[in-house]
Structure 1
Amino acid sequence: MPVLRVKICGITSVADAQLAAAAGADAIGLVFYPPSPRNVTIAGAREILAALPPFVTRVGLFVNPEAAWVEEVLATCALDLLQFHGDEEPGFCARFQRPYIKVLRLTGEMDLRPWRDRYATAQGLLLDKRDAQVFGGSGHSFAWWRLPQDLCMPLILAGGLHPDNVAAAVNLARPYAVDVSSGVEISPGRKDRGKIERFIARARGAGEA
């Protein structure tokens, strides 16, 4: 199995961004969605992004945004990748001249080929638990299953992951990457060093097994 990638999402401070990078995270996620407790302002995001070392992918998360809002963020924030967590159409996701990933909100096993075909311009699909009341990351797990290895599109597993279950999730699903936010926190938006370090170590240890 290829080396597993790890994204730490919901970063709200310079200290937590640097903590994630030092622990070996491949990517960090910034939430540009005001209803979320992990929302960041443009000014806060710029400060966080400026403090990151090279080779850490900077991801901006949006939920059913107006195009003008995405463009305003991109005008001043050096994001490498966009993550669309709502009901955005493929044409909307692809219009910003940035690579993007599309989130699918699921309850369990399903055929991913129609979604791959619909979002053919995406860099990958992120699988999270469907929650009618929550956008931008549910924090709840769903019924994992062995993901198809011949989809020809990276699949990212999220939803309720934490240090104590990530190895089992990786061993079963065999995703390209895992994405965690609340599972490595002390409180919403505040990360825990030990949880991040254990999460990354256990995720990669499972992926290399």
Structure 2
Amino acid sequence: MAQIPAPIWQIPAQRHRVLVKICGLTLVDNALDCVKAGADIIGLVFFEKSPRHVSTAKAREIARALPKGVPACGVFVNETYNSIMQTVSACGLEIVQLHGAEPPDLAERLSAQNLVVTKAFFAAKPPKLCDTEKYPSADFCLAEYGKGILPGGNAETWDYNQALDMAKKVRLMLAGGLNPANVADAVARIHPYAVDVSSGVEKTKGIKDIAKVKAFVRAAKSVSI
């Protein structure tokens, strides 16, 4: 696994609180408000078909505004190594999330660049939840439903119990249909290392409702794991 400098990524002997990633930010002030509300990671979507797509210039502005210790994660879908690295360099990203059908060697090449790599796995399509062993260089394995119109951000809840086996084997990031009302139960049952939310805390697509973000963070971190 890549060595991650931010203090939140240090793995203590016993963890007690889940990490929270708020994804799909498009505005600097909104991203900073999410950090103040308790977000540990800010996600920036570079998939052009997403309504939460952010330009390289805007992503750079958001990433540079984040306080030390709160990394920016770039979300990519079936992009090439060169394209991803250009965006990483331009924006100063610390984390790369591969949310498509990317091959294991792409994750390996990105990890070799000292990037933190998150690879998505899906309940409804390949790569499946049981395919994590094919991606040994992934620092985080994200469990997602994968049945909506978009690769993510569809607000589609699913049977999170399908990710129980993953949580025992990898550093699991649970995603898909999470919201302030169901995240505490999901964390209590699955014991993920992190949770990822986008549409579940939105006011409109790409703009987060900070009251919902606060409620989500409070609920997620209320559970000892």
Taking structure 2 as the reference length, what is the TM-score of the superposition? 0.85
Structure 1 residue 84 displacement after superposition: 0.3
Structure 1 residue 122 displacement after superposition: 0.4
1:21 to 32, 35, 38: 35
Give the SS at the match of 1:150.
helix
Is 1:99 aligned with 2:113? no
Query: Is 1:61–1:136's contact at 8 Å kept on the other side of the alignment?
Result: no
Query: Is 1:16–1:190's contact at 8 Å kept on the other side of the alignment?
Result: yes
Any residues of structure 2 matched to 1:67-82 within 5 Å, and which? 67-82=81-96
Query: Is 2:146–2:152's contact at 8 Å kept on the other side of the alignment?
Result: no
Give the SS at the match of 1:199.
helix
Taking structure 1 as the reference length, what is the TM-score of the superposition? 0.91
How far does the alpha carbon of each residue in 1:31-83 deviate from its partner, in whole angstroms, 9 at most, with x for none? Answer: 01110000011100011111111110210000001233212202211111100
One-letter identity of the residue aligned with 1:61: V
Alpha-carbon distance in 2 for matches of 1:176, 1:5: 6
Structure 1 residue 95 displacement after superposition: 1.5
Structure 1 residue 144 displacement after superposition: 1.4
- For 1:85, the equivalent position in structure 2 comes to 99
1:167 to 168, 184, 207: 184
One-letter identity of the residue aligned with 1:122: A
Give the SS at the match of 1:131.
coil
Alpha-carbon distance in 2 for matches of 1:2, 1:124: 18
2:198 to 164, 181, 193: 181
- Which consecutive unaligned segments of at least 5 residues does structure 2 have? 1-14
Any residues of structure 2 matched to 1:21-170 within 5 Å, and which? 21-96=35-110, 97=113, 98-107=115-124, 112=129, 114-131=130-147, 133-145=149-161, 147-148=164-165, 149-151=167-169, 153-170=170-187
Aligned-residue identity in percent:
39
Query: Is 1:129–1:138's contact at 8 Å kept on the other side of the alignment?
Result: no
Aligned length: 204
Give the SS at the match of 1:74.
helix
Structure 1 residue 184 displacement after superposition: 0.4
One-letter identity of the residue aligned with 1:117: E
Structure 1 residue 138 displacement after superposition: 3.0
One-letter identity of the residue aligned with 2:175: A
Structure 1 residue ranges (4+ consecutive) displaced by more than 6 angstroms after TM superposition: none
Alpha-carbon distance in 2 for matches of 1:132, 1:58: 25
Is 1:11 aligned with 2:28? no
Structure 1 residue 116 displacement after superposition: 2.7
One-letter identity of the residue aligned with 1:171: A
